[in-house]
Amino acid sequence: MANVGNQLPTQAVSKPAPGKHGNVLPLWGNEKTMNLNPMILTNVLSSPYFKVQLYELKTYHEVVDEIYFKVTHVEPWEKGSRKTAGQTGMCGGVRGVGTGGIVSTAFCLLYKLFTLKLTRKQLMGLITHTDSPYIRALGFMYIRYTQPPTDLIEWYDGFLDDEEELDVKAGGGCVMTIGEMLRSFLTKLEWFSTLFPRIPVPVQKIIDQQIKARPRKIAQKETQDEEATFTESGRQGERRRSRSPRRTPSPRRSPKRSRSRSHHREKERHGPSFDRELERERDRQRKEREGRERDRDRGERGERERRRSRSTDRNQDRRERRRSRSGSRDRRNERRDKERDGGDDRSRRKDRDHHKDRGTERERSRDKKSRGETDDRRHKDDRERHREERKAKRSSRSRSREKRHKSGGEEKSRKRERSHSRERDRDRDGEQRSHRRSRSKERSHHQRESSNDHSKHSERRRSQSTE
């Protein structure tokens, strides 16, 4: 990455005190939260910028480049993202306990540096960086949050009179120098809507004494220029000089004056090459802004196109789902119709078989009934004959008894005739019975054969229908 034209002159940085050992930095306070406000820390950890974009940065140099391109202020919250109007007490905007907002990229990158566990050499590279004042500001803020309070004055000692300017407020409007920012770090706990870690009272007293002992320095050339302008104005002025002694200029100057004079000094040192580099840097920054705006426009257009494509894809998916549903419904209806047709055929076959079975059963029952009727008739005939025979026997016995009284010879002849008649009747009855039995046997045999043939015929039909 090319260095910016407004480079800082090399300053004498105090070396680490004997209490600091080696290249490893000590950590003061909480080793997990970096002593940050809990609300700021939760917003940092939950922000998509920290979870997605900063997660891909793995090295110290990548994080420094990200600070150079993305950081424009060192306030913990973005402009307009935190509404604290009407809140007082612990819910006010100073404490950072109330409603949260969108955490700034500066604090996200500050916590990213903490996750990298910077060494002493890397931290010195941050606070002496020449490309951007915001890289230095994050380095000094890292020191304020993580280093022991007794070491703060030793870290900041060589930079309390640094004149490099930066705008620390979100949206602009609060320009200060690096030295003023460091003095604020050492003497105040509040920094916009958050708090720095507390410094013990004895250490704070020592820091206040050292700061009072060394007031803010003013460049010699600047004082000379002011004296020259003052004498010229006194010579050219028409008014009289007052007898009162001339007042010395105040050590604190407005940011515009100090910035213009420092710019004038840089011009005198570097000449036209500095102007060219400054113009190049301004052109580069303007091109970067235009590129960012183009990227934003492209991103918005891409988002619109993606939404449109998503809507078209959703409509196509819905149409395809409807088509698939209608096709599945048609298939189900066809299957149901086929099942109904098949069920109707099966029911018809079952009805036919059932009717056939019923017909065979009816025929069998008819045969049984006819057989039973014939048997009943036979039994009835036999019973009637036996009754008639018994009646005849009784009548014959009664007659024979009467005749016995009349005539014994006649009775004997009659008895013989009766015996002969009885034998004849018996023979006739025996022949008739045998004839009837033979006829009944033939009929039963014929009926059995007919039923067997019918059952065989029905079984053949069933086998054919099942095949």
Per-residue pLDDT of the chain (467 residues; tens, 9 = 90+): 434 333 333 333 334 443 445 789 999 989 899 999 999 999 999 999 999 999 999 999 999 999 999 999 999 998 887 765 444 444 444 444 445 688 999 999 999 999 999 999 999 999 999 999 999 999 999 999 999 999 999 999 889 999 999 999 988 888 999 999 999 999 999 998 899 999 999 999 999 999 888 876 654 445 555 555 555 555 454 444 433 334 333 333 334 433 333 344 444 444 455 567 667 777 877 888 888 888 888 888 888 888 887 778 778 888 888 887 777 778 888 888 777 777 667 777 777 777 777 777 778 888 888 888 888 888 888 888 888 888 888 888 877 777 777 666 666 777 778 788 888 888 888 888 888 788 788 888 887 887 888 887 888 888 888 86
C-alpha to C-alpha distance for 186 and 208, rounded to whole angstroms: 8
Position 131, amino acid: D
* 112, HSE (Cβ side, Cα atoms, 13 Å): 27
Extract the tokens encoding 276: 């060219």
pLDDT for 408 equals 64
> Residues 294-298: contacts with CB within 8 Å, 24+ apart?
none
* Sign of the CA dihedral with 344 first, then 346, 347, and 352 last: positive
177-79-138 Cα angle (round to 5): 40
DSSP states along 311-348: HHHHHHHHHHHHHHHHHHHHHHHHHHHHHHHHHHHHHH
Q: What is the DSSP letter of 26?
A: P
Residues in the chain: 467
Position 114, amino acid: F
pLDDT for 171 equals 85
**Taking the C-alpha atoms of 214, 215, 217 and 223 in order, what is their torsion angle to the nearest 10 degrees?**
-130
pLDDT for 274 equals 55
Q: What are the helix and strand counts (H, E) for the chain? A: 13, 4
Q: Please list the helix, strand and coil fractions of the chain in percent, rounded to the nearest 5, in that order.
A: 70, 5, 25
Q: Residue 64 class from Cβ within 10 Å (0-12 exposed, 13-18 middle, 19+ buried)?
A: buried
C-alpha to C-alpha distance for 5 and 91, rounded to whole angstroms: 44
Contacts of 183 (CB under 8 A, 6+ apart): 160, 211, 216
C-alpha to C-alpha distance for 375 and 379, rounded to whole angstroms: 6
Extract the tokens encoding 17: 């005190």
C-alpha to C-alpha distance for 218 and 224, rounded to whole angstroms: 11
pLDDT for 14 equals 39
C-alpha to C-alpha distance for 148 and 29, rounded to whole angstroms: 8
pLDDT for 397 equals 81
Q: What are phi and psi of 213, to 5 degrees?
A: -70, -25
pLDDT for 9 equals 35
Contacts of 148 (CB under 8 A, 6+ apart): 26, 28
Buried b / exposed e over 161-182, threshold 16 CB at 10 Å, is: bbbbbbbbebeeeebbbbbbbb
pLDDT for 95 equals 45
Inter-CA distances, 88 with 92, 94, 96, 195, Å:
5, 9, 11, 16
